[in-house]
Amino acid sequence: MRHVGLKARMAVVGSILFGFYMLLAIVALEVYGLGLPIVVLGTIAFAGFQYKFGKWAALRSAGAEEMSEDRYPEIHRAVERVSGDMDLEKPKLMVADMGVPNAFAVGRRGAGVVVVSRELIQLLDPDELEAVLAHELAHIDNRDVVTMVMGQSIASMLGLAAYVVVASTREGGIGGFLVGYLASILVQSVAMVFVLAISRYREYVADSDAARHVGGDAMARALQKISGASQGRDVELDDNVSALCIFGGERSALEKLYATHPPIEKRIEAVRDVER
């Protein structure tokens, strides 16, 4: 079985998030007196909505637009080659102005989308760009994109639910608002610890997959260039989009628990040892 470690982590985190999700259903059932059929149908429908909305929100936040095959034929050919190697249906390609060289993928096998920033296209050599594209295709192939999008959505929903429950048990006014807000932040932060643990590990796996298809040296050079070009550039990306990107920026020691990506130096060291 490929990537047993990643699959095991996704299964564990998925189970934990599902437990949180069921807790919300119990609250709706017991506290607010909603009927069981309504709760079951509501949770299923909302899960589907979260997936669709999360994908749409990420693309909209990045300002992504369709990548013309006439204008970017080399990128389309590279994606076709790597997709064929991975036995993966070619995903839709989009391009965006992110302010920094970056790329990300959303969607599932058969309905994936890869977004590449124009800054990345200008920065990288063809083999380095192909390595980044292979990295994003690996995310779709490994199905970890769905886990990330759903996990982020569930964490946000848990935060909102915590606010509603806590604020409703207190008297109105600024006090109830503040206590509810703090409860919302705490609950969402706890849920995101589990989601971001997968986020860091999945980057190593995608780097390794890309290196096997394109070459470890090309992947390492791409990561080095992206990191160097992003230094000192304070460009704000939506947190949900940043977690999906190939490079999430540098974090201080205090922020490492919530880092979306492992240290770039460790990623470069890891891919240099991968043989095609």
Measured in degrees and rounded to the nearest 5, phi and psi for residue 92 equal -70, 140
Residue 139 confidence (pLDDT): 92
What single-letter DSSP state applies at residue 245?
A: B
Catalytic residues: 136
The predicted pLDDT at position 252 comes to 43
Q: Please give the order of strands across the beta sheet that includes 92-96.
A: 65-66, 92-96, 113-117, 103-106
Domain ranges across the chain: 4-61+144-272
For the chain, 276 residues long, give each residue's pLDDT as a single digit of tens: 467 777 787 787 778 777 777 776 776 666 666 666 776 677 677 767 777 777 888 888 888 999 999 999 999 999 999 999 999 999 999 999 988 899 999 988 888 999 999 999 999 999 999 999 999 999 999 888 877 777 777 787 778 777 877 777 766 667 777 888 888 888 888 888 777 777 788 888 999 999 998 888 999 999 999 988 877 665 556 666 776 777 665 544 444 545 667 888 889 888 887 755
Q: What is the pLDDT of residue 148?
A: 79
- 3-state helix vs strand vs coil in the chain, percent to 5: 70, 5, 25
Strands 113-117 and 92-96: parallel
Q: What residue type is assigned to position 248 of the chain?
A: G
| Beta-sheet pairing, 103-106 with 92-96 | unpaired
- Classify each residue of 162-172 as buried b or exposed e, where b means 16 or more C-beta atoms within 10 Å of its C-beta: bbbbbbeeeee
Is the pTM higher than 0.85? no
